[in-house]
Amino acid sequence: MASPLTINPFDAALGAEVTGLDLSNRLADETVTAIQAAWDQHLVLLFRDQAISDDDLVAFSRRFGDLDEPAVNPQGKPYHPDQPYINVISNLTANGVPLGNLGDGEAVWHADMTYRENPPKGAILHGLTVPPAGGATYFANMFAAYDALDADDKALIANKVAIHDGAHNSAGMLRKGYAEQTDVRNTPGARHPLVWRDGDRKALFLGRRPHSYILDMTVADSDALLDRLWARATQDQFMVRHEWRAGDVLMWENLRVLHKRDAFDPASQRVMHRTQISGDPAA
Ligand code: OGA
Ligand code: MN
């Protein structure tokens, strides 16, 4: 039987909408294979109008690999009361205590949990409650960003390694158990090459700008190079912007794509549930 899905690429450097699927159903293996192929090609996939439960989200996510539990958050305990593999991204509070991560402010450009040796290779985010304005999410294609670097910068970064900060989340909040460091050479977190090789292709692997440091450089030189790479990597032509509707499910490749989120009106509500697909330890 022909797979019912249709892939409609965005008019952008990455991303596609997938139509024709109800993710609350158990999908046929061939459908999962088609989604995986589209994900590899387009890096970000959007499924609209998905009325799915947390169990559905976990079951769908598991079709793409093992799942990672959420990172340590500023509260120091999971936001979801009974789903260990679901993180809650929300600005709601109860008695002043956050019920989810990232609040209502901007989340700066980042990839998720790259402070780990083996960060998740993907994430799947389900929009449950979305604000009437603001809170858009952006994605940037790091294959395209690498390809557009000039030859001198490609040579300069070929064997360089950077520290990916584990102390702060993308909203700049300190994770429970971490202390502020004033010297970026002491930033806690995994060290990863600035260039990832994926077969013949190469991608920039930047993680997040705050508290990053390129080993074996002076702090001033590291800061200058990082600023230049970040300015190049986050240009409009490499990016797509997603305005949320309730029921959207977005899945992103986490290691070849950066994402960020706009701030939104604190008086409005934004609640999203997210899973993460474990990275390949050999990658
Ligand atoms: C995340 C994240 C962005 C958003 O879940 O990792 O960065 O739009 N979310 O909520
Ligand atoms: Mn994120």
Domain spans in the chain, listed from the N-terminal domain onward: 6-104+120-128+244-258+268-277
Measured from CB, residues less than 6 Å from any atom of ligand 1 are 89, 102, 107, 112, 123, 125, 137, 170, 259, 261, 272, 274
Ligand 1 nearest atom to the CA of residue 101, by list position: 5
Q: Tell me which amino acid residue 248 is.
A: D
Q: What is the pLDDT, as a whole number, of residue 76?
A: 86
Whose CA is closest to 134, among 262, 239, 240? 262
Alpha helices in 26-113 (DSSP H): 29-42, 54-62
Ligand nearest to the CA of 114: 2
Output the CA 109–ligand 2 centroid distance in Å: 8
- Let me know the angle formed at the C-alpha of 162 by 157 and 168, rounded to the nearest 5 degrees: 145
Q: Which residues lie at CB < 5 A from ion ligand 2? A: 112
Ligand 1 nearest atom to the CA of residue 110, by list position: 7
Q: How far is the CA of 281 from the CAs of 66, 72, 116, 134, 233, in angstroms? A: 12, 21, 11, 36, 26
Output the CA 154–ligand 1 centroid distance in Å: 29
Cα–Cα distance, 23 to 217 (Å, whole number) = 48
Q: What is the pLDDT, as a whole number, of residue 196?
A: 94
**Coil, strand or helix: which one is 129?**
strand
Q: What is the pLDDT, as a whole number, of residue 6?
A: 97
C-alpha radius of gyration, the chain, whole number: 18
**Residue 211, by phi and psi: left (phi above 0), alpha (psi -120 to 50) or beta?**
left
Output the CA 138–ligand 1 centroid distance in Å: 9
**Coil, strand or helix: which one is 211?**
coil
Ligand nearest to the CA of 134: 1
pLDDT in tens, the chain (283 residues): 556 899 999 999 999 999 999 999 999 999 999 999 999 999 999 999 999 999 999 999 999 999 999 988 888 889 998 999 999 999 999 999 999 999 999 999 999 999 999 999 999 999 999 999 999 999 999 999 999 999 999 999 999 999 999 999 988 999 999 999 999 999 999 999 999 998 899 999 999 999 999 999 999 999 999 999 999 999 999 999 999 999 999 999 999 999 999 999 999 999 999 999 999 876 5
Ligand nearest to the CA of 275: 1
Cα–Cα distance, 252 to 276 (Å, whole number) = 10
CATH architecture of structural domain 6-104+120-128+244-258+268-277: 4-Layer Sandwich (3.60)
Ligand 1 mutation pick, 240, 261, 262, 277, max ligand atoms within 8 A of CB: 261
Ligand nearest to the CA of 250: 1
Output the CA 160–ligand 1 centroid distance in Å: 28
Cα–Cα distance, 240 to 237 (Å, whole number) = 8
Ligand 1 nearest atom to the CA of residue 125, by list position: 5
Structural contact between residues 111 and 169, judged by C-beta atoms closer than 8 angstroms: no
**Coil, strand or helix: which one is 81?**
coil
CB neighbour burial string for 39-51, b if at least 16 within 10 angstroms, e if fewer: beebbbbbbeebe
Residue 277 sits at φ, ψ, to 5 deg, of: -90, 130
Q: Write the residue with the smallest CA distance to atom 3 of ligand 1.
A: 261
Q: Where are the beta strands (DSSP E) in the chain?
A: 6-9, 16-19, 44-47, 87-90, 93-94, 97-98, 101-102, 107-110, 122-129, 137-141, 161-163, 191-193, 195-198, 201-204, 213-214, 239-242, 249-253, 257-261, 271-277
